């Protein structure tokens, strides 16, 4: 498998994982993807989710994941979530 094939395969796999984690169960139960113009769940997954992730740079996705894992605003306020949220 070439580097480009591995890259495409990895981005498609990421898209499938995001399809499970990125949308609520209600979104799928109520078939809200139909309101976006898709005729089937597979059509939505390929035409929207995979199409969204496939042109992305995997290194950018890794950087975003790193930021999300470390995105604890309370680190800067001694562990308080009230101060950063203004509560």
Please tell me the total count of domains within the chain. Answer: 1
CA dist 9 and 11 (Å) reads 6
Look at residue 87 and tell me if it is in a domain: no
Contact 38, 47 (CB under 8 A): yes
> What is the chain's pLDDT, residue by residue, as a tens digit (87 residues)?
787 788 788 888 878 887 778 888 899 999 999 999 999 999 998 999 889 888 888 888 888 888 888 877 777 777 777 766 665
Look at residue 84 and tell me if it is in a domain: no
Query: To which H or E segment does residue 25 belong?
Result: helix 25-29
CA distances from 62 to 57, 69, 74 (A): 9, 11, 23
Look at residue 82 and tell me if it is in a domain: no
* Domain span at 58: 1-9+18-63
Rg, the chain, Cα only: 18
pTM: 0.64
């Amino acid at each position: 498998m070439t580097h480009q094939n591995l890259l495409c395969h990895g981005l498609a796999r990421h898209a499938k994982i995001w399809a499970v984690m990125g949308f609520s169960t209600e979104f799928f139960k109520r078939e809200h993807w139909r309101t976006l113009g898709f005729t089937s769940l597979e059509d939505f997954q390929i035409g929207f989710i995979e199409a969204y992730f496939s042109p992305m740079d995997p290194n950018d996705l890794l950087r975003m994941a790193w930021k999300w894992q470390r995105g604890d605003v309370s680190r800067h306020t001694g562990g308080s979530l009230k101060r950063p949220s203004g509560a």
